[in-house]
Amino acid sequence: MVKYLRVMVLAAAVMLIAQSQAFAGAQNFVLVNNTGSTIYNLYCSSVNSGNWEEDILGDTGTVAPGESVTVNFNASQRGRYWDLRLVFDNGVDIYWENIDLYSIGTITVNSDGTANFE
């Protein structure tokens, strides 16, 4: 009976892990702020969108210098290529177009306005 219970618990755990991965988007990435300014807004829009959509950080979220944030997409959000826009505390904004988020796990934003896509 104990062995059967262990097998059932293990099977349930495997199903939960598989289910949680099914809801994750292939476009997920970590944004690293390697600048001297705080990021106040982060917009990720499908290249076909035509506008910047909503701020992913929301009304209260920021990314301070030296910090990072994980950007998660759900499974219903489709599309390989995305436009990204960052707005900093000093009002400066930078953006990149047609970023292949299927092949990127980390985006590090540098103080000179460039970014490393890894």
What was the pLDDT predicted at 90?
A: 94
DSSP state of 78: -
What was the pLDDT predicted at 73?
A: 87
Of the CA atoms within 13 Å of residue 75, those in its CB half-sphere come to: 7
Domains of the chain: 26-117 (2.60.40.2890)
* Residue 84: its H or E element: strand 81-88
**Would the pTM of this model clear 0.95, i.e. be above it?**
no
Residues 41-67: pLDDT tens digits? 999 999 988 899 899 998 889 999 999
Residues 70-91: pLDDT tens digits? 999 887 788 899 999 999 999 9
Question: Which residue has tokens 């707005």?
Answer: 87
